[in-house]
C-alpha cells in the first residue's frame, strides 16, 4: 500500500536540506521549485532538482513541485523532468480540469500528477478537477494561499476551513485519489501540529504536508492506525472468516453489528498498518 502520511517540502535550491532528507523517514519528499525559490534562483533550483533525482537515495517517494505553466518557468520545469523522472509532479494553483490535462499532457510516462487546491475557484470546481482523469492521483490542500485569498482567520481549531477540508476529501474519495492536508507554519508548535494531524486524520486525509523534518514523526504517528483500531479490524476480519458468518451480509462482533463494508474497511486498515509497520 502507498503511504503518504508525511509529505515533506524541500527547497530544491538547498542542497544541504536535500542531502539531509535522504536519511529521513518521510513517506514522500517534494523538491520545491515554486514558492520556496526566488525568481532569480529558478533555473539553478531546477538543475539542482534534476541532479537530486539522478543521485536518488531517498527512502520514500520523490516528487517535484513545478512552477505553473502560466509562469516563465513552468514549461522548462516539466521538460527538465523528462530524463530523470520523479515519482510524481505537483502542479500549483490549478483552477479547472483543463489546467490538469494541460500539465498531464507534458508529463513523462509513469509519472503521477498531484495538484494543489489553493484558490476559491478550485474548491468551487473540485468535482470537475478531481475527475480530470489519469495521471492525476492526489489532491493537496494549499492552506496558505487559500486562507489568504479567502481572508480567513485561522486559529488552532481551523474552524473556518472545516467545510473545505471535508470538500477536498470528498472529491478525492469520489474519484479514487489521495487527499493530503495542508501545512502547519508554526514549526516550533508541537501541540498545534499534533492537533492538526489528528484533525486531518478525523476528516479522512491520507497524510499531511510538512515544511520541517521535525514534523515527520508526529504525522507518521497520527496517520498510522492505532493499536486499538488494528485490534478492532482484526476482530472484524476473524469474525467474517468464521463458518457461521458465511453468506451473511451483517454479523455481530462483540457489542456492535458490522456489515461487509466494515470488512472491506478492516482489510484496508490492516494493509495500511502493515505498510506503516514496515517503514516505522
Q: Where does CATH 3.20.20.60 sit in the chain?
A: 6-222
Distance (Å, whole) CA 133 – CA 131: 5
- In the structure grid, which three cell numbers stand for residue 120, read together? 476559491
Distance (Å, whole) CA 134 – CA 105: 10
Give the CA distances from residue 204 to residues 48, 120, 129, 222, 223, in Å, rounded to whole numbers and listed in that order. 35, 21, 19, 12, 10
Distance (Å, whole) CA 60 – CA 114: 16
Q: 9-13, 266-270, 275-279: lowest mean pLDDT where?
A: 275-279
Beta-strand runs (E) in the chain: 6-11, 28-32, 61-65, 88-91, 112-117, 136-141, 178-181, 207-210, 250-253, 256-259
Q: State the architecture of 6-222 in CATH terms.
A: Alpha-Beta Barrel (3.20)
Beta-strand runs (E) in 70-192: 88-91, 112-117, 136-141, 178-181
Distance (Å, whole) CA 49 – CA 75: 15
Decide: helix, strand or coil at residue 140: strand
What is the average pLDDT score of the chain?
A: 94
pLDDT at 250: 81
Q: Is residue 57 a contact partner of residue 82, using CB atoms and an 8 Å limit? A: no
- pLDDT tens digits along 28-83: 999 999 988 999 999 999 999 999 999 999 989 999 999 999 999 999 999 999 98
Decide: helix, strand or coil at residue 51: helix
pLDDT at 195 over 90: yes
Question: pTM value?
Answer: 0.93
Q: 87-91, 166-170, 246-250: lowest mean pLDDT where?
A: 246-250
- pLDDT tens digits along 95-154: 999 999 999 999 999 999 999 999 999 999 999 999 999 999 999 999 999 999 999 998
- In the structure grid, which three cell numbers stand for residue 105, read together? 499532457
Q: Is residue 66 a contact partner of residue 33, using CB atoms and an 8 Å limit? A: yes
Q: Which residue is associated with the grid cell 520541517?
A: 212
- At 264, phi and psi to the nearest 5? -60, -45
Distance (Å, whole) CA 85 – CA 127: 29
Beta-strand runs (E) in 55-156: 61-65, 88-91, 112-117, 136-141
Which residues is 257 bridged to in the sheet? Answer: 252
pLDDT at 253: 84
- In the structure grid, which three cell numbers stand for residue 176, read together? 479514487
pLDDT at 280: 66
Query: What is the mean predicted confidence (pLDDT) over 239-249?
Result: 79
Give percent above pLDDT 90 in the chain. Answer: 86
pLDDT at 237: 93
pLDDT at 265 over 70: yes
pLDDT at 155: 87
Which residues is 117 bridged to in the sheet? Answer: 141
Task: Provide the pLDDT confidence category of residue 251 given band limits of 50, 70 and 90.
Answer: confident
Beta pairing class for 250-253 and 28-32: unpaired
Task: Provide the pLDDT confidence category of residue 225 given band limits of 50, 70 and 90.
Answer: very high
- In the structure grid, which three cell numbers stand for residue 20, read together? 539531509
Amino acid at each position: 500500500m502507498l503511504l503518504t502520511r508525511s509529505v515533506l517540502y524541500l527547497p530544491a535550491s538547498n542542497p544541504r536540506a536535500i542531502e539531509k532528507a535522504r536519511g529521513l523517514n518521510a513517506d514522500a519528499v517534494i523538491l520545491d521549485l515554486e514558492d520556496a525559490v526566488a525568481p532569480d534562483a529558478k533555473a539553478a533550483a531546477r538543475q539542482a532538482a534534476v541532479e537530486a533525482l539522478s543521485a536518488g537515495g531517498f527512502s520514500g517517494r520523490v516528487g517535484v513541485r513545478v512552477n505553473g505553466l502560466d509562469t516563465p518557468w513552468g514549461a522548462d520545469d516539466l521538460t527538465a523532468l523528462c530524463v530523470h523522472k520523479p515519482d510524481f509532479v505537483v502542479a500549483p494553483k490549478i483552477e479547472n480540469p483543463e489546467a490538469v490535462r494541460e500539465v498531464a499532457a507534458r508529463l513523462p510516462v509513469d509519472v503521477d500528477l498531484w495538484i494543489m487546491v489553493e484558490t476559491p475557484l478550485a474548491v468551487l470546481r473540485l468535482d470537475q478537477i478531481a475527475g480530470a482523469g489519469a495521471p492525476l492521483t492526489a489532491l493537496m490542500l494549499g492552506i496558505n494561499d487559500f486562507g489568504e485569498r479567502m481572508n480567513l482567520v485561522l486559529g488552532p481549531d481551523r474552524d473556518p476551513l472545516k467545510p473545505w477540508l471535508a470538500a477536498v476529501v470528498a472529491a478525492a474519495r469520489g474519484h479514487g485519489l489521495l487527499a493530503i492536508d495542508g501545512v502547519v507554519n508554526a514549526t516550533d508548535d508541537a501541540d498545534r501540529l499534533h492537533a492538526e494531524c489528528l484533525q486531518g486524520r478525523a476528516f479522512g486525509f491520507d497524510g499531511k504536508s510538512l515544511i520541517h523534518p521535525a514534523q515527520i514523526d508526529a504525522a507518521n504517528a497520527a496517520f498510522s492506525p492505532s493499536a486499538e483500531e488494528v485490534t478492532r479490524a482484526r476482530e472484524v476480519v476473524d469474525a467474517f472468516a468464521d463458518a457461521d458468518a458465511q453468506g451473511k451480509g451483517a454479523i455481530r462482533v462483540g457489542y456492535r453489528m458490522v456489515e461487509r463494508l466494515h470488512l472491506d474497511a478492516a482489510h484496508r486498515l490492516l494493509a495500511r498498518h502493515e505498510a506503516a509497520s514496515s517503514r516505522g
